[in-house]
Amino acid sequence: MRFSLIKFATMVRVLNVAEKNDAAKCIAEVMSRGTARKREGYSKFNKLYEFEYNVFNQNCNMTMTSVSGHLLGLDFVGQYRKWYSCNPVQLFETPVTKICPDNFIDIKRTLEREVKGCKYLVIWTDCDREGENIGFEIIQVCREAKPSIQVYRARFSEITPQAINRAIQNLVPPDQNVSDAVDVRTELDLRIGAAFTRFQTLRLQKVFPEVLSDQLISYGSCQFPTLGFVVERYKQVEAFIPEPFWKIKVTHFLDDVKAEFNWKRNRLFNYQACQVLYEQCTELPVATVTDVRSKSKNKWRPQALDTVELEKLASRKLRINAKETMKIAEKLYTNGFISYPRTETNIFPKELNLTTLVEDQTRDPNWGEFARGILQNGPHPRNGNKTDNAHPPIHPIKYTATLQGNEQKLYEFIVRHFLACVSQDAQGFETTVDIDITEEQFTASGLMIIGKNYLEVYPYERWNAKEIPVYNVGDKFEPSSIEMVSGETSAPPLLSEADLISLMDKHGIGTDATHAEHIETIKNRSYVGLRPDGRFVPGHLGMGLVEGYDSMGYEMSKPNLRANLENDLKLICEGKKNKDLALQEQISKYREVFIQACDQAMKLDEALAQYLGEATQFTATETSLP
């Protein structure tokens, strides 16, 4: 008894901090093989888990606890937090400070108390930019309480015994560059957001007192381009002018099988031109088969799954929006069911054992048999070409049949996508028949499906077989019908959430981790609305704001400015750009734009007046800067 007490007293203590309580609990469970003891801290949401573990070449006493996302927040110092404290343009240079918000003080106190008896601090936050930055916040708090603490970072993409064990055997220093990039982004978001938000809110509340008197009219450098995409597409739809067109359609029945031949000219926007050609054809309505081609045709299995694709596919196929998708995915990750869901990688690393992952799924009554089928030839992933060198593509890591509702739906999707990705392309055989009727060419094609392969496990895609009669070159026949049909061009569709994410991704607005949030923000601000068919339309306020800024010519609703910022952040992460330099450059760019916007604020009033009714003359008073 005495012996073990001495042992306990001399054992090295290690403080481990994860990003969320769930993660702390799961990691502790994995590391302790379920033997961790739970203890309370000051924050009732963030427990402490204790166990012994062999690390740093010795058996250590491990304390695993957590924060709840960011521990510190950035804000202006003291007086400048008040809306009327200064002219908003000053917000580009007034001093800022990182502080712990009131609701996280308890977490901070726990860390300060626990770190005192520890020799090492291991950071277990999510391995992405935000996670790295949260890690540095934890380090800051712990160092202040115990300056001699030795700090390490655990890198992992999934919460499995192997991954966690690998992480702790390969502890690394935390990555200052990545954290710096987040600091730069946070400071810019604060300054730009506060300056524009105060400017436009204070002004527009006065100019449209009846409509906007109580409304916060926020501005964010990601929010606005996102809104801009919605407005742009809406205007494209509005501006569209439909036009009639005509085409010739030929059908032929042979032994009850129908072939539909499409005109090589596709369609013509001139009635007379089409009529002339139609009469050419019907004068001597005999078709001659000029070519018959057959070739195997594959339908590609899906690529390894990254975050943007997950969001898009979940939105389209499961009707779960991006924000909800990421929330669920995060939970599935924390519970050890899937790998880390924030990843830009769509290439499976060679060292990942896909076979065991597939084997794990053979238990399922629905897709288990398919999984067994894959094992016969071995898994062959269809990889893309992107990697963030941090996380593998999203994949299941543990079989479960215990989930419900959307969690179950999303898990099933990730599993099916994974199994489809490592199986085989669907195989078909396509036959194309060309015919000639008085020098007009038509084409029909049929499809025979030889192997459904991945489609067996992937109900989110369809491939329809199409039978056509057998033709030989030189065959002549009289078509069952030759018709001149008319149609009308239609406007492009309004943006769906998946379309919007594609645009953000293409233009570098936000990151895979933040797309969903920006979309949520513009919805919450009533800048845009979602129609029942899942397509976005801009609201009056959103339209007016975008038109107002567009008319100033600074294209604040366009993606270029923000995309440039995102690019700088990337360079900081890679250690290719100094963070202070990037910060200064970006601040001065946005400050310039801000000053121009203030000078031309009338244009904002005018644009909004189209939607919100007459504008009240704006007069600057002491309390309504600028």
Which option in Mg ion, another protein, none does residue 602 bind, with CB closer than 5 to 8 A by kind?
none
Element containing residue 562 per DSSP (H, E): helix 560-573
Q: From the CB of 268, what's the least distance to Mg ion, in Å? A: 55
| 267 part of the interface to another protein, by CB under 8 A | yes
Q: From the CB of 130, what's the least distance to Mg ion, in Å? A: 5
| Contact residues for Mg ion, defined by CB under 5 A | 126
CA 42/CA 38 separation, integer angstroms: 13
Q: Which is nearer to Mg ion, 126 or 311 (CB)?
A: 126
**Does the annotation count 471 as an active-site position?**
no
Q: From the CB of 270, what's the least distance to another protein, in Å? A: 4
Backbone angles phi, psi at 570, to 5 degrees: -60, -45
Residues 305 to 344: which contact another protein by CB under 8 A? 312, 315-316
Region of 60-68, 131-139, 491-499, 532-540 interacting with another protein (CB under 8 A): 491-499
Region of 49-57, 75-83, 230-238, 420-428 interacting with another protein (CB under 8 A): 230-238
Q: Which is nearer to another protein, 141 or 308 (CB)?
A: 308
Instruction: Provide the token pair at 30.
Output: 């994995």
Element containing residue 254 per DSSP (H, E): strand 244-254
Buried b (16+ CB within 10 A) or exposed e, 493-508: ebbbbbbbbbbbbebb
Element containing residue 427 per DSSP (H, E): strand 426-437
Q: What angle is formed at CA 327 by the lines to CA 67 and CA 342, rounded to 5 degrees?
A: 80
- Burial class of 277 by CB neighbour count within 10 A (0 to 12, 13 to 18, 19+): buried
CA 185/CA 370 separation, integer angstroms: 45
Q: Which is nearer to another protein, 21 or 325 (CB)?
A: 325
Contact predicate 342/125, CB 8 Å: no
Q: Which is nearer to another protein, 6 or 239 (CB)?
A: 239
Binding-site member from 266, 376, 389, 621 for another protein (CB under 8 A)? 266
Element containing residue 230 per DSSP (H, E): helix 223-239
| 273 part of the interface to another protein, by CB under 8 A | yes
CA 514/CA 496 separation, integer angstroms: 17
| 499 part of the interface to another protein, by CB under 8 A | yes
Region of 46-54, 203-211, 485-493, 542-550 interacting with another protein (CB under 8 A): 485-493
Q: From the CB of 57, what's the least distance to Mg ion, in Å? A: 31
The tally of CA atoms less than 13 A away on the side-chain side of residue 296 is 7
| 11 part of the interface to another protein, by CB under 8 A | no
Q: What angle is formed at CA 497 by the lines to CA 402 and CA 325, rounded to 5 degrees?
A: 20
Q: Which is nearer to Mg ion, 65 or 557 (CB)?
A: 65
| 498 part of the interface to another protein, by CB under 8 A | yes
- Total count of residues recorded for the chain: 626
Question: What x/- string results for residues 234 through 253 when contact with another protein is judged by CB under 8 A?
Answer: --x---xx-x-x--------
Give me the residues that bind another protein (CB under 8 A), please: 229, 232-233, 236, 240-241, 243, 245, 264-270, 272-273, 275-276, 279-280, 283, 312, 315-316, 461-462, 489, 492-493, 496, 498-499, 501-503, 506
Catalytic (active-site) positions: 340
